Amino acid sequence: MAEKSIAIIGASSRRDRFANKAVRAYAEAGYTVYAVHPKEDRVEGLPVYRSVADIPGPVAIANLYVAPAVGIDMLEGFKAKGIKAVYANPGAASPELLDKGRALGLEMRPRCSILAIGRTPSEFPDE
């Protein structure tokens, strides 16, 4: 099931945040969702991990909802975890992030991850 697993980096308990909408979208699409945030405890009923390294078992995809400088610092950890693809959502991508990810052999996907699975953020209410 690792190929249908995703770590949402910057996951939020606030339902108006795109990172929260991504948690809901991927869960509804049948993915195993791992919420990652240094300060949250639970997001949409899921336990929250402080880092990708803390997630037990393999993860196929990382989904960035953090500033590019923060994401850049995480890329080597993604590779070490065995993550193959990284979504850099709007606001999370930069040329430096994309270049470093590609240099590490990661498949960089600079686009909205919710749209990528055929859903739209507006399908997930803020309340």
Q: What is the pLDDT along the chain (127 residues), one digit of tens a residue?
A: 467 999 999 999 999 999 999 999 999 999 999 999 999 999 999 999 999 999 999 999 999 999 999 999 999 999 999 999 999 999 999 999 999 999 999 999 999 999 999 999 999 999 8
pLDDT of residue 3: 77
Q: Is residue 94 part of a domain?
A: yes
Domain carrying residue 94: 2-120
pLDDT of residue 2: 62
Burial (CB < 10 A; 0-12, 13-18, 19+), residue 70, is: middle
Q: Yes or no: say if 88 and 108 are a contact pair by the CB < 8 Å rule.
A: yes
Q: How far apart are CA 33 and CA 46, in angstroms?
A: 8
Q: Is residue 52 part of a domain?
A: yes
CATH at 75: 3.40.50.720
pLDDT of residue 127: 82
Q: Is residue 51 part of a domain?
A: yes
